[in-house]
Amino acid sequence: QKEVEQNSGPLSVPEGAIASLNCTYSDRGSQSFFWYRQYSGKSPELIMFIYSNGDKEDGRFTAQLNKASQYVSLLIRDSQPSDSATYLCAVGMDSSYKLIFGSGTRLLVRP
Amino acid sequence: EAGVTQSPTHLIKTRGQQATLRCSPISGHTSVYWYQQALGLGLQFLLWYDEGEERNRGNFPPRFSGRQFPNYSSELNVNALELEDSALYLCASSPQGSLQPQHFGDGTRLSIL
């Protein structure tokens, strides 16, 4: 079992719709959770981070965390073609300081 | 505020050579992390430096090494280059503290011929 799992996609949504990206993780000791956006040929860009159960909103983005289910998600409201990218879920553990990345979900927003 | 800077942008080497990649963290960040992103393999953790010390390393052979300087900048050295070392090497920095978000530089693309 992979430590951080994501559906590779592509996830295709029409412009203006809500895109829902999901991630599961295997280590119950995980403490911090991050979403990065990566355009083709570019480096990852931090979008959201969340540490506690529940929802965290920032503009069009909402991160959701459920530690009991070992599940973290990212919602993108009013999706735009410029949101088309690969979204990487990353999980951190207090003991090691390193981030474990999922393989990413490719999002395609159709105009 | 300047972000994480990496140099060079591209590096072309041949098998058996040695490569040196450089990274300057965001001002005020003391932790530097190195990741490898090979085609189709996702981001893999390589090394973590903090306060000049190597704190953790990933599942990579010893020919991957590095150091952190007193100004918190860092070097990644890869010896005896192999074809499979071709990848994008990403440096990230964060303030000290395990739960702090890591911010990435633009990366160095290393190509082995």
User: Using one digit for the tens of pLDDT, what is the confidence trace for B44-85?
Assistant: 999 999 989 999 899 999 999 999 999 999 999 999 999 999
Compute mean pLDDT per 10 residues along chain A, 111 residues long, and list them: 86 97 92 94 94 94 95 97 96 78 95 93
Question: Which residues on chain B are in Cβ contact (under 8 Å) with A36?
Answer: 104
Question: Which residues on chain A are in Cβ contact (under 8 Å) with B58?
Answer: 98
Instruction: Convert chain A into a string of H (helix), E (strand) and C (coil).
Output: CCCEECCCCCEEEECCCCEEEEEEECCCCEEEEEEEEECCCCCCEEEEEECCCEEEEECCEEEEEECCCCEEEEEECCCCHHHCEEEEEEEEECCCCCEEECCCEEEEEEC
Q: Kindly identify which residue of chain A lies nearest to residue B43, measuring between CA atoms.
A: A101
- Mean pLDDT value across residues B83-112: 92
Contact of A27 with chain B, judged by CB distance below 8 Å, is answered with no
d(CA B88, CA A110): 29
d(CA B16, CA B7): 21
Is residue B112 within a helix (H) or strand (E), and if so which, with residue range? strand B108-112
Contact of A102 with chain B, judged by CB distance below 8 Å, is answered with yes
Bridge partners (DSSP) listed for residue B47: B34, B57
Q: Test B99 with A103 for CB contact under 8 angstroms.
A: no
